[in-house]
Structure 1
Amino acid sequence: MQAYTDIRALIIDMDGVLWHGDRAQAGLVDFFQALRELKLPFILATNNASLTAEQYVDKLEKMGVTVALKEILTSGMATALYLSERYDPQTTRVFVIGGIGARQPLLDLGFKLTELYETDPDQRAHLVVCGMDRELSWDKLATATLNLRAGAHFIGTNGDLSLPTERGETHGNGAILAALTASTGVTPMIIGKPESIIYRQALSLLNVDQGYTVAIGDRLDTDILGAVRTGIRSLMVLSGVSTEQDVAAADFGPTWIVPDIRDITEILRNNTL
């Protein structure tokens, strides 16, 4: 058993860990109370780019939990930050498949977003960014395809093939990326987990050595693999997508496995893992 003092910060996934859709996981409020009592800093880092940080703050507020904007990092935010470090926002045009959570961070950093069926070659997008889109349409897919065929670079906020909801598991952004790859032959660059980009951004925000940081997630192929690639320890909850059988069949795995966040709360308060 390891002492809790060996853990100084957490990077926490949301879907499947904190809630299923709009239904909070049991023990949610107590979990965050424990983090505050222990003065344990955290970043809520989600692959789901459908909402803005402000909307996630509101969602948690409705569930009885108060968090700050600076404690949230979405794959939409991570994508905008990554692109702003490599492209000039003032001269780079972006076509976005995705909701406000994918669009707003790009706008905040000064990128110009192009519209459907932009036919002027001088106004076409340099980049196609694809995130979770609950209003996905034929026209959006067609416009993305035309831009990609014209040479735009392809960026996926995340590659999750499925999404846990209160109704069950539905398709995720990875399914949309697959459709666009099938129609264009272009493979996207992924910003979210399991790539290490979003984890490294979270570590920078926390300003804690990665050796003292633990990632919490429910997906073996994104949350846990991303932690492995980043070189940080991980704790997998069984309240979301992946199972112990999935771990047994893989050639990598989490540092620890627990049923859900209620167990994490108990572990942190008892000072052991």
Structure 2
Amino acid sequence: MPGIQVAERAGVGLDGHPRPSEDRVVVLDHAVAVLDGATSSDPTQPSGGWYAERLASRLAHELTGDGDLPAVLRRAIAGVANAEGLRPGLSPSSTVAIVRWTAERVDSLVLADSPIVAFGQTVDLLADDRLVILRRGGRLRTRQAVRSLRNHPDGFWVAEADPGAAAHALTSSRPRAGLDAVILATDGVSCGVDDYGLFTWTEALHLARAKGLNAVLDAVRAAEDSDPDARRWPRAKRHDDQAIVLVEFAGPGRP
């Protein structure tokens, strides 16, 4: 089994007050997953953390069975939606990033903006940028806009109440031989690379190995503390939830 390290930290709500993290992490002996819950615009619905918790539990169960990763995700989304009576377009949602391995291969899946980075002879990023493109284009400024573009061909795809969203996930598969490590992260961590330019993914890996995963989270938080009014880096919350997983396939101390 590869070495697996996890670091998590709660952010703040839109009101700036602390609240429990809506990120969730699944660790199995042959797979890991990272989820970032988002609360529905319908105030009668439960939180994004509530949904991510249930989807994570379903994924842990489904990952013990057969099928490719989109099929695993489809079954998990359907299971939560059916059990909880969720309605497409009016329910909490979650990003999903999954890495599953055998002795020969490593398969990856991302849905929405929680990326996966594989390190070997090259650095390979599996990232779903559809949500980011819409946000940067100013098309997600209202709750109605988000609702109308969620799980829509002209919008973005995310785990919610429609199992069909799983078919729109991005996937990759590669030989395990030659793979050094993999990082999975929610956008509260990936913003350090994509938005703040604090480090590259390779530099983030080196920092994690030298000082631990919490050093990566600390660097992002320090940058945000230096910009308390979100002028340099416009963002909805001063601190987002953070979750990062490092899977060492052949890292330091490993064959």
TM-score (norm 2): 0.26
Which has the greater radius of gyration? 1
TM-score normalised to structure 1 length = 0.25
Structure holding more helix per residue: 1
Tell which has more relative contact order, 1 or 2 (C-alpha 8 A, sep 6+). 2
More strand by share: 2
